Amino acid sequence: MKQKIIKVSAPATVSNVGPGFDIMGFAINTSVEEMILRLTDNPGIKIKKITGDKNKLPLDITKNTATVALTHMISKLNSKIGVELEIKKKMISGSGLGSSAASAVAAPFALNELLGKPFTKYELMEFALLGEEIASGCIHADNVAPCLFGGFILIRGYNPTDIIQLASPKKLVCTILHPQFEVKTAEARKLIKKQLPLKDVITQTGNAAGLITGILKSDYSLIKRSLNDLIAEPARATLIPGFYEIKNAALSNGSIGCSISGSGPAIFAFSTSFKDGIKIGKAMKKVSSKFVKENIVYVSRINTVGPKVIG
């Protein structure tokens, strides 16, 4: 008899990664969501309940990233399968840590596990991307891919989606400051300039190439020199009170690079030890607390696994 219920956990993710706007992301060992998926005798998809979201996420299966991804997956199966979901958000939406992508990944991952893995992770990614599109207004893989595969991911292009998994530097530690307010991805994207001076494009390209090389070679000095963003950070910094003071606090306390996670408001900072990571987190939180009442700090190694079955 097939198992009819499964519980999975999906990791938080950082996208853009400084100069890697829309082409890079990585996962951390902090869960952004837990999901229970059940097979039922009634064909169709139903969200039984969502908790931890302050009643902001839709129960409508045509508007929720998890169920949109499942709809495409079940259509591909050409099946009249019945599925029921319970979603537990462990971070608020609009965090900049891949909350919507986690739902889009967790649902097809969970169903795939229950059905004996009829799809590869690359196939699951395509379903998840279609789910994520509902939240962000466009297809982009820089949260979905690292959430599903774990580790650092480079997105070379689309049609078809072409991702490259990068080996994670062993010493790298990520500190994340998460001010407790929401930034909508679709709104944050509107702030990005449509045109840039050629000299900025050249600088950004060099930084992105340097960051990728630094990650592949575990060259922390190169990572530090390359983690400079001329596209998203200057535009989105206005959405995060005290951003540059927070960034300076991180860099002054041992960080080898600091920038906005995705659309924000979360801010990530790299270091090479947990001791430094914790110190950096305290410094960032101290500054941010002058502007935002509630702030949460996470310190983590890079997650190299992706989602996992927890029950």
CA distance 263 to 186: 9
Starting at the edge strand found earlier in the chain, the sheet holding 295-301 runs 257-260, 267-271, 173-179, 295-301
- Active site residue: 30, 65, 71, 185, which one? 185
Nearest to 175, CA basis, from 7, 1, 12: 12
Q: Between 99-114 and 121-136, two packed helices, what is the crossing angle to 10 degrees?
A: 150
Is residue 185 annotated as part of the catalytic site, yes or no? yes
CA distance 268 to 257: 8
Nearest to 259, CA basis, from 14, 2, 3: 14
Nearest to 260, CA basis, from 189, 160, 308, 170: 189
- Active site residue: 132, 133, 233, 272, which one? 132
CA distance 175 to 266: 10
| Residue located via tokens 């998809």 | 45
Nearest to 62, CA basis, from 143, 136, 135: 135
CA distance 80 to 78: 7
Say if residue 169 is preceded by a cis peptide, omega within 30 of 0.
no
Rg for the chain (alpha carbons), in Å? 19
Say if residue 265 is preceded by a cis peptide, omega within 30 of 0.
yes
Catalytic residues: 132, 185
